[in-house]
Structure 1
Amino acid sequence: MSSIVWNAHPGHRAWYRVWMWVASYLVMLGLTACTASLPILVPDLKLRHARPVQLEGARGPLTKAQSKAVLDRLRSRSSDTDIFTRHLALEEAITGSPLTVGNRVQLLRDGPATYAAMLAAIAAATDHIHMETYIIEDDEMGRLFSAALIAKQRQGVQVNLMHDSVGTIGTPAVFFKPLTDAGIRVLEFNPINPLLARKEWELNQRDHRKLLIVDGKIAFLGGINISSVYSGGSSTGLGSHSGSGARSSKARAPDAGTSWRDTDMQLQGPVVAELQKLFLDAWASQKGESLEVRNWFPAPRSVGKDVVRAIGSSPEEPFSLIYATLLSAIESAETSVLLTNAYFAPDPQLMAALKAAVARGVQVHLILPQHTDSQLVFHAGRSHYDELLSAGVQIYERRGRVLHSKTALIDGVWATVGSTNLDWRSFLHNYEINAVVLGREFGQQLADMFAHDLALSDQITLEQWRRRPLGQRLQEGFARLWEYWL
């Protein structure tokens, strides 16, 4: 393929989406006549039996009295909602992963802040580094991380790197050679080349996680890949803007100099052990070479007051744990649902949950991209605008940047940041990772960031939307046909 193809997006690359769409269509021709009867692989949450919430701290599971004290503290700071009583037990039943206390969480906005924190953690590593990423580019930022990892490996720190085969298809093999030569274990997730497959060849299952764990004590996760497109800051939008009413209904492809708007988080405390388990499980599922055992699970310490749950999803599970958790949170919402997402192609249950929330008086706000690298997903998402706007959902499109964030804030107290998009690919086909943080303090940080993005976004109104050109409507209809595969 030409070099133009390789210069596409470092998230869900536009060329890959088109390629997968065509390939999937050919597969479907051989397997089924249509996709209309495809089941929605999410359980009926109302059938789940809730059980008492069990919290875990640095010394293991908390007693019932200790757990109650923590939850009472959270409730006391969130008197305007009973999301804790209506949601937590259900989430516990869905995920099975522990709700950990004693954590410290820091919100990281965009590439510069995230990369600075990650590189500082790498430089301070003394035992091991585990890195899992969808993309690592052979560019200035990719080479900077490569040099940092090689330096630590030479100092005796064991580095293990897992990267997705499709996400790094534009990264030449020569980029990884210095890493492996230095002793770093590099694992290609689900190789595109079937001759290199270590288990059943599964082209459509991709590792979309972005996770860095250092010494089993500090972790980073979110939407940020390793690429120089994230080098820009987020204090201002790019280009001019003539007011909230003067927006274009056309999709805008990012210019070469347009930077990306994304969100990550830094975590310390007992939750890091849960993220470590997810990395090691993913490595084992890919049948990677045996890892040299290091101090992967150091004695956990209580380092803060944040209550956090780590959630990983994979297509090998009956349903997406992250998706089911998000649905349960939206269904429990009483005051507000604030969603920021890069790729929006909702399934019927998510659509129903958003509309039902508005119907019971919840304010539902979505911030979605105005600049896009994937026209198909962009138009597939926009094909749902009329239905959502008619129901009272408020939709905004972020201008000036390529929006790549994946965050949610429910009632100001239930927050999640991670790699999961609101599309079928994330829900059904990808390995994803998110962290859920409970509490007013972190919720306020995310609310402030949402307000910042909202001020740099254009609102989509139903009246304006229904005046969009016929050509755009046709694009939306066409993309809608393929949203399952995008």
Structure 2
Amino acid sequence: MWVLLALVGGAVLVLVVANLTTSEKKIEQEIEHLYSVGDPQFARSLGTLLGPAILPANRVTALVNGNQIFPAILDAIRGAKRTITFETFIYWSGAIGRTFAQALIERARAGVKVHLLLDWVGTGKMDAEVIREMEQAGVEVVKYHPLRWYNLGRLNNRTHRKLLVVDGTVGFTGGVGIADNWLGDGEDPDHWRDSHFRVEGPVVAQMQATFMDNWIEETAGVLHGEAYFPPLSPAGTYPAQMFMSSASEASESVRFMYLLSIASARKSVRIANAYFVPDDLAVATMVAAQRRGVQVEIIVPGRHIDAKVLRRASRSLWEPLLEAGVAIYEYQPTMFHTKVMVVDNILTSVGSTNFDNRSFRLNDEANLNVLDPEFAAGQARQFEEDKQRSKQLTLDQWRSRPWHQRALEWLAGLVRLQL
């Protein structure tokens, strides 16, 4: 009996360790400041070290909050002629979830090939009946890393990617999930603030390839041909790149992109992120940027946040940032779910990635990098608008917070690598 219990206990311990750690080598040395974001070498570095090339002639349209985001996405879905590929972390039952299901069902019945890849954990609040209705209509629904005996060691690896590609020609990415929290215009705590982006041009093929990464992993099938990868004509003027990271492939690409971009900054770094829990190297990189004259500004959620422990873990790390002069703002009206970084008003990175260890090393993520001053200027203006709705926390205020708050933040900091 004791031998059996020991074996079971050992197996459980192995599974826990497997889920709490990743196998890849981790970047531990601070990246040297060798060139600026505006230097052609920076673009070459992104295109070679992250993998996908930076492609010219794209159009990227910013969409702010549910009032803009959901109509644009639904219009694209309802206009689909051949294929829809859709990967998301959050899809919950509710008004907007039903609307999306009806749109996908209608297109599937019209003969469009609809492929829906849902994270098993992120769709825990989705009614099984909705999935059955979609499947009966012809929608191919696949769950990412569901609970199975053979993948227990991968349960902590979730797909956090948010990708939609219609007919291989129009793509969407950003921070929005399919849930009623994202309805409205961020006007109150029940309606979140977020950004999403509509994409056209050659980079849409990279978005489609990113979807295929996890689709192949879960189905062992390949979606290809002109219906998924049609010829793509120039659609705008923006150079852009869609890249991905995956714990299952031992990738540190998202973390590297953030570190390299901040290390290459010469004027400004603006980070708007829902879950800002940087590791020690990320903190050191931001401090180094601030000390060489870069203005580093960060907007994070305030008291309206869906995960209090994340806010506490985040605040436990702010002292060296505030001491260096980094400006940190807490968004006041509602949950701030945006995931945008703007560097030197040239590089803009948008997508699913949070600034935390879970996004950097545990989850599958995807971000769109746009290297264009015009697009960056628009996102910088949006950052300033969000900043006006935020409250800056000073070093004196941080140091004078009550002891019980300090204690809770210290405790949350102990588990920050899993947040």
Please report the TM-score for the alignment, with normalisation by the length of structure 1. Answer: 0.79
1:162 paired to 2:117 = yes
For 2:142 and 2:16, the matched residues in 1 are separated by 32
**Equivalent of 1:311 in 243, 260, 285:** 243
Distance 1:145 1:473, change over 3 A: same
Q: Which amino acid aligns with 1:312?
A: M
1:471 — aligned with what? 404
**Equivalent of 1:228 in 164, 180, 194:** 180
The C-alpha deviation readout for 1:272-328, integer Å capped at 9, x for no partner, is 001111111210012356658661111110111011010111102333212211211
The C-alpha deviation readout for 1:175-200, integer Å capped at 9, x for no partner, is 20000001110000000x225x6x56
Q: Which amino acid aligns with 1:194?
A: R
1:174 paired to 2:135 = no
For 1:28 and 1:217, the matched residues in 2 are separated by 44
Q: Which amino acid aligns with 2:84?
A: I
For 1:231 and 1:349, the matched residues in 2 are separated by 36
> Which stretch shifts more, 169-178 or 265-274?
169-178
Asked if the contact 2:33/2:264 (under 8 Å) is kept, the reply is no
Q: Deviation at 1:100?
A: 0.5
Distance 1:168 1:142, change over 3 A: same
1:43-442 correspondence runs (5 A)? 83-191=38-146, 193-195=147-149, 201-234=153-186, 238=188, 258-287=190-219, 295-370=227-302, 371-442=304-375
Asked if the contact 1:369/1:403 (under 8 Å) is kept, the reply is yes
The C-alpha deviation readout for 1:367-403, integer Å capped at 9, x for no partner, is 0000211111110000011221011110000001101
For 2:289 and 2:135, the matched residues in 1 are separated by 51
The C-alpha deviation readout for 1:20-74, integer Å capped at 9, x for no partner, is xxxxxx8489759x99xx9972375859999xxxxxxxxxxxxxxxxxxxxxxxx
Distance 1:358 1:292, change over 3 A: closer
Number of corresponding residues = 405
1:41 — aligned with what? 26
Asked if the contact 1:308/1:435 (under 8 Å) is kept, the reply is yes
Gaps of 5+ in 1: 1-25, 51-80, 239-253
Q: Deviation at 1:336?
A: 0.2
The C-alpha deviation readout for 1:440-462, integer Å capped at 9, x for no partner, is 11001101100110000000001
1:459 paired to 2:411 = no
For 2:16 and 2:48, the matched residues in 1 are separated by 38
2:3 — aligned with what? none
Q: Which amino acid aligns with 2:130?
A: F
For 2:28 and 2:278, the matched residues in 1 are separated by 16
2:7 — aligned with what? none
For 2:397 and 2:407, the matched residues in 1 are separated by 17
User: What secondary structure is seen at the aligned counterpart in 1 of 2:39?
Assistant: helix
Q: Deviation at 1:211?
A: 0.6
Please report the TM-score for the alignment, with normalisation by the length of structure 2. Answer: 0.91
Distance 1:181 1:475, change over 3 A: same
Asked if the contact 1:383/1:477 (under 8 Å) is kept, the reply is yes
The C-alpha deviation readout for 1:154-195, integer Å capped at 9, x for no partner, is 11111000000000112121120000001110000000x225
Asked if the contact 2:29/2:281 (under 8 Å) is kept, the reply is no
For 1:30 and 1:305, the matched residues in 2 are separated by 48
1:249 — aligned with what? none
For 2:166 and 2:32, the matched residues in 1 are separated by 39
Q: Which amino acid aligns with 1:176?
A: I
For 1:443 and 1:48, the matched residues in 2 are separated by 21
For 1:287 and 1:188, the matched residues in 2 are separated by 10
User: What secondary structure is seen at the aligned counterpart in 2 of 1:207?
Assistant: coil
Distance 1:232 1:312, change over 3 A: same
Distance 1:309 1:389, change over 3 A: same
User: What secondary structure is seen at the aligned counterpart in 2 of 1:170?
Assistant: coil
For 2:393 and 2:33, the matched residues in 1 are separated by 37
Asked if the contact 1:45/1:328 (under 8 Å) is kept, the reply is no
Q: Which amino acid aligns with 2:269?
A: V
Q: Which runs of 4+ in 1 moved over 3 A?
A: 26-32, 43-50, 288-294
Asked if the contact 2:63/2:198 (under 8 Å) is kept, the reply is yes
Q: Which amino acid aligns with 1:222?
A: G
Asked if the contact 1:48/1:90 (under 8 Å) is kept, the reply is no
Gaps of 5+ in 2: 1-11
Q: Deviation at 1:485?
A: 1.1
Asked if the contact 1:49/1:93 (under 8 Å) is kept, the reply is no
1:447 paired to 2:380 = yes
For 2:90 and 2:358, the matched residues in 1 are separated by 17
Identity over aligned pairs, percent: 36
The C-alpha deviation readout for 1:117-151, integer Å capped at 9, x for no partner, is 11111111100000001011110000000000000
